[in-house]
Structures are given as structure tokens and as C-alpha cells.
Amino acid sequence: MNLNSKYFDRIRIKPDEAQAAPQEAPRCEWAGCDQPGGYRAPKGRHREGQYHSYCLDHVREYNKSYNYFAGMRDDDIIEYQRSASTGHRPTWNMGVNKVGAKPQSWADAFNDPFGFFGGSGAKPGPETAKPQRTLGNFARRSFDALDLDGTESGTEIKARYKELVKRLHPDANGGDRSLEDRLREIIQAYHYLKSAGFC
Ligand SMILES: [Zn+2]
């Protein structure tokens, strides 16, 4: 066998290795972000050793929202969402209340426009005028994640958030857990908008 033949050369190198692109940092996994990733963020308690890869800005943003759930297992977070969408009072209210604003009732605290929580139901929000906003990158992406255009009132943002959580929840999808990443993205987006004072 002639080891120097052209034919041998061609089969000696696996095509996928020969054509592999130069090693490149993965892109940030944040929706809509095209920055290089490389900053690792833990995926959660039941995914030890698995990490998201974000850019520096987004790993900070992710960690903020990740810490929000510190001490809760992923299942507890999902369980919270399940409770919230089926009308059971959760044990933890996600900090929806503005600091210092003592709600009259639990339903008021959530401003529950669809009556998910068994309260009196639709409660018109005070915000009728569209707020004027200059959106930063995080805010823009967070509105995008919620399929909003950025002009919505706080009431509308909350309503959309609840609607999406309800729609994407595994219980509403025959136990399909493939939507969890999208759900997580929506939770992150909502908490960013809340922390930034949009709702
Ligand atoms: Zn990013």
C-alpha cells in the first residue's frame, strides 16, 4: 500500500476535523445578544456542571435574576409558577409589591387582570397614557423576550408576563419541559423590567 498516495491522504483526515472552524468563543446565549460569550453561569440545582455562556453584561444580569431564586430549587420555582397560574396562593410572592406599599389583599398585590388567582378579577390599571421611554439594551431585549414593543404600561407588562408563564408552563403543555428555557428567559426579562422600574 502506498501511504503517500493522494487517496490515502484524503481518507486519513476525517473530513469534519479537517474542515473544523478555528476555535472560537461561543456567542452569548442571551436572546438577541451577539456579543461573545465565555462567562459561565450555573444552570441550576438539578443541572450541576452545566452552564450558560453569556457575555459579561449578561452574566451579571443573569446572576441577578439567578440570585433572586437563591435557596429555591428549580422545581420550587416551577412549582411557584404552577401555583400562580392555577390560583393557589404561593408561599412566596416574588417581590411584586413595591417597597413600602402594603397591599390591601393578596389579589391586589398581583393586580390580577384575568382573575387567575380567584379574586374579583379584572381591575383596570391606573396607567392609561403610554409612557415615553428611551430603552437601553437590556430593557429592549427584555421587552422583546416578552413579545412587547416597549411602550406598554406596567399593568400591560405584568399581564403579558402572567399570560406567557401560563401558556409556557409544562402543566399547560402536557408536561413538555422543552419550553423551560423560554420560560426562564421570560422570568429573567420580567425581573429585569421590574428591577428597572418598568412595572
Ligand atoms: Zn450578552
Cα–Cα distances in angstroms (integers) from residue 141 to residues 28, 135, 137, 155, in the given order: 13, 9, 6, 19
Q: How many domains does the chain have?
A: 2
Among the three residues 12, 35, 68, which one is the final residue of a domain in this structure? 68
Residue 186 lies in a domain: yes
Using the CB atoms, write b or e for 30-41: b if 16+ within 10 Å. bbebebebebeb
> How much distance in Å is there from the Cα of 37 to the middle of ligand 1?
7
Among 30-34, 50-54, 80-84, which is the least confidently predicted range?
Answer: 80-84
| Identity at 151, one-letter amino acid code | T
Considering the domain architecture, whether residues 61 and 155 belong to the same structural domain is answered as no
CATH number at residue 156: 1.10.287.110
> How much distance in Å is there from the Cα of 134 to the middle of ligand 1?
20
**Average pLDDT for 139-151:** 91
Residue 23 near residue 38 (C-beta atoms within 8 A): no
> How much distance in Å is there from the Cα of 188 to the middle of ligand 1?
13
Residue with cell 406598554: 152
pLDDT band (50, 70, 90) for residue 157: very high
pLDDT at 121: 43
Q: Which of 57-66, 105-114, 146-155 has the highest mean pLDDT?
A: 146-155
pLDDT band (50, 70, 90) for residue 177: confident
What mean pLDDT value characterizes the chain? Answer: 70
Considering the domain architecture, whether residues 77 and 50 belong to the same structural domain is answered as no
